[in-house]
Structure 1
Amino acid sequence: MTVLVVSLSLAVLAAPAAADEKVTVFAAASMKNALDAANKAYGKPVTASYAASSALAKQIESGAPADVFVSADLDWMNYLSGKALVKEDTKSNWLGNQIVLVAPKENAAPVDIIRGLDLARLLNGGKLAMGEPNSVPAGKYAKSALEKLGIWSSVEKSVAGAESVRAALALVSRGEAPYGIVYATDAAADPGVAVVGTFPADSHAPIIYPIAILSDSKSPDAAGYLDYLKSAKAAPFFEKEGFTVLK
């Protein structure tokens, strides 16, 4: 009986430590396909939560338990850095991406994305789906590109600002919007849409995905997980989805 009591006590004491070994990653919605595949290959417990980088950063600020954060832009990582919520020596610029114009696959025709493009005419009264342009990184990049190309003022009132880039993609895939602006990696993940044009790289700031361990991380495996994601072993999962692994 004594042995049983001692064994049960040890099991109870060991439980929290085992739970802490799991890594929780908060990642931009556009990361889902690639990160899910990489996490499966990792072979250790990982819980991933996907949403717009802005929403995830606010959740982290409010105390949501997470170990690793991947943002779709530098702004939201810097936001957390400014609040001392990131382990600075773990932060790095990890991946690159592109923004593209997509249309429902059955209605896809090439669009030459140049300065002065009459996108309003192409919309023909329909909506332009994109991430919310003042907070969601994909939407911010899209607005910046449209402004640089002299298009924004003609389509601003037609914008359907979605809570995440994946939500914007879904509007196009379901035929609820004739066009949308999303990351190239998202377009590749949805067979219901086709890329009809790619925005010039000089029409917006470089699209960079930074990654870092959060200051409140309790997982002893967070550093190992971060090293894995940035390794040559994991790189193919992200390159397959269209990301550029930054050196």
Structure 2
Amino acid sequence: MAAGIGLFMMPAFAQARDITVFAAASLTDAMGDVAKAYEQQNPDDNVRLSFASSSTLARQIAAGGPAEIFVSANEKWMDWLSEQDLLEAGTRRDLLGNSLVLIAPKDSKLSNITLDTKSDLTRLIGKDDRIAMGDPDHVPAGIYGKQALGKLGMWEKTESRLARADNVRAALALVEHGESPLGIVYGTDAAISKGVKIIATFPANSHPAITYPVAVMKDMKNPASTRLLDFLKSPDARAIFGQYGFTLPQ
């Protein structure tokens, strides 16, 4: 299985049973394991994975990128591709859910806090420090973060104190490396990191439900794409996603 962070172009001579999947950066670890499980059951198929922000991947697809399956970290970017008639009819479905959390470096003196309308994250950081999160202008985790901060009345105070990252894993890395004393990421990202701790979970009603839609791109004739799409909803795949902390729609 060929996997990597970022984008690649698939060579023209690629085998017909290769399956190219563009997936949100927050799925890096889980999707890698799911792809391995799929290949074990379908040894003639080869899953090619490319990870980045959902916005970056959606734009690449619209520009002619080679994705056969796209997994977005929010509805917005899948809707955007749908509006351009780039999804295969009848293949879109909700795959996963997630939570939004506030993290700090593992060795931080900050401990569990409650996030509500009385909270002020800027009081928890130094005057020159910034809070890491995906860029709220286009990164799904950042968009959810802005919505949550806005709902809790904190957006105006925190907007100028953000370290805007290209994707949620980049935001996680800023906190892991001690470059930001706080970060806003998905619960699953925090769970796979040994360098951060969760100090709060944003109330579920402070942001829209975090949903990961999946779909096959239009005019893809590769039958392996349909097999993989079906596998993503199988008990085996759901068990793997569940181990990484994703919630599983019924």
Alignment TM-score, normalising by the size of structure 2 = 0.90
Q: Post-superposition shift, 1:159?
A: 0.6
2:19 match: 23
Distance, in Å, in 2 between the alignment partners of 1:137 and 1:182 is 10
How big is the shift at 1:124? 2.0
Q: Distance in 1 between matches of 2:88 and 2:125?
A: 45
CA distance in 2, matches of 1:241, 1:224: 23
1:140-151 correspondence to structure 2 within 5 Å? 140-151=143-154
Is 1:90 the counterpart of 2:91? The answer is yes
Matches within 5 A, 1:125-136: 125=127, 126-136=129-139
Aligned length in residues: 232
Normalising to structure 1: TM-score of the pair? 0.91
Structure-2 separation of matches of 1:41 and 1:138:
27
1:114 to 2:110 alignment? no
Separation (CA, whole Å) in 1 of partners of 2:159 and 2:118: 14
Query: Which amino acid is 2:94 matched to?
Result: N
Q: Which amino acid aligns with 1:228?
A: F
Instruction: State the one-letter code of the partner of 1:20.
Output: A
User: In the TM superposition, what is the alpha-carbon distance from 1:116 to its structure 2 partner?
Assistant: 2.5
In the TM superposition, residue 66 of structure 1 has moved relative to its aligned partner by: 1.0
Question: What corresponds to 2:223 in structure 1?
Answer: 220
Whole-Å Cα distance in 1 between the matches of residues 178 and 221 of structure 2? 44
Looking at structure 2, the residues matched to 84 and 38 of structure 1 have their Cα atoms a distance apart, in angstroms, of 28
Which of the two has higher C-alpha Rg? 1
- Consecutive unaligned residues in structure 1, runs of 5 or more: 1-14
Q: How far off is 1:117 after superposition? A: 0.4
**Segment of structure 1 superposing worse, 42-51 or 216-225:** 216-225
**Kept after mapping to 2: 8 A contact 1:145/1:203:** yes
Q: Which one-letter code corresponds to 1:72 in the other structure?
A: A
Residue 214 of structure 2 corresponds to 211
- The one-letter code of the counterpart of 1:29 is A
Q: 1:158 aligns with which of 126, 141, 161?
A: 161
Alignment partner of 2:172 out of 149, 160, 169: 169
Structure 2 match to 1:202: 205
Structure 2 CA distance for aligned equivalents of residues 99 and 47 of structure 1: 28
Aligned to 1:6: none
Indicate the SS of the match to 2:48: strand
Aligned residue number for residue 39 of structure 1: 35
% same residue? 47
Q: Deviations over 1:176-195 (max 9, x none)?
A: 00000000000011110000
Q: Pairwise mapping of residues 228-247 of structure 1 onto structure 2 (< 5 A)?
A: 228-247=231-250
Does the 8 A contact of 1:185 with 1:241 survive in 2? yes
Counterpart residue type for residue 162 of structure 1? A
CA distance, structure 2, for counterparts of residue 196 and residue 209 of structure 1? 24
Instruction: Write the deviation string for residues 145-173 of structure 1: whole angstroms up to 9, x where unpaired.
Output: 00000011111101111000000000000
CA distance in 2: counterparts of 1:56 and 1:203, whole angstroms: 27
Cα drift, residue 20 of structure 1: 1.6
Conservation of the 8 A alpha-carbon contact between 1:168 and 1:180:
yes
Deviation at 1:218, TM superposition (A): 4.0
User: CA offsets, 1:186-236, max 9 Å, x none?
Assistant: 001111000000000000000000000001424220000000011111111
In structure 1, the residue matched to 2:52 is 51
Deviation of 1:245 (Å): 1.1
What's 1:72 paired with? 73
1:180 matched to 2:183:
yes
Gaps of 5+ in 2: 1-11, 40-44
Runs of at least 4 residues of structure 1 off by over 6 A? none
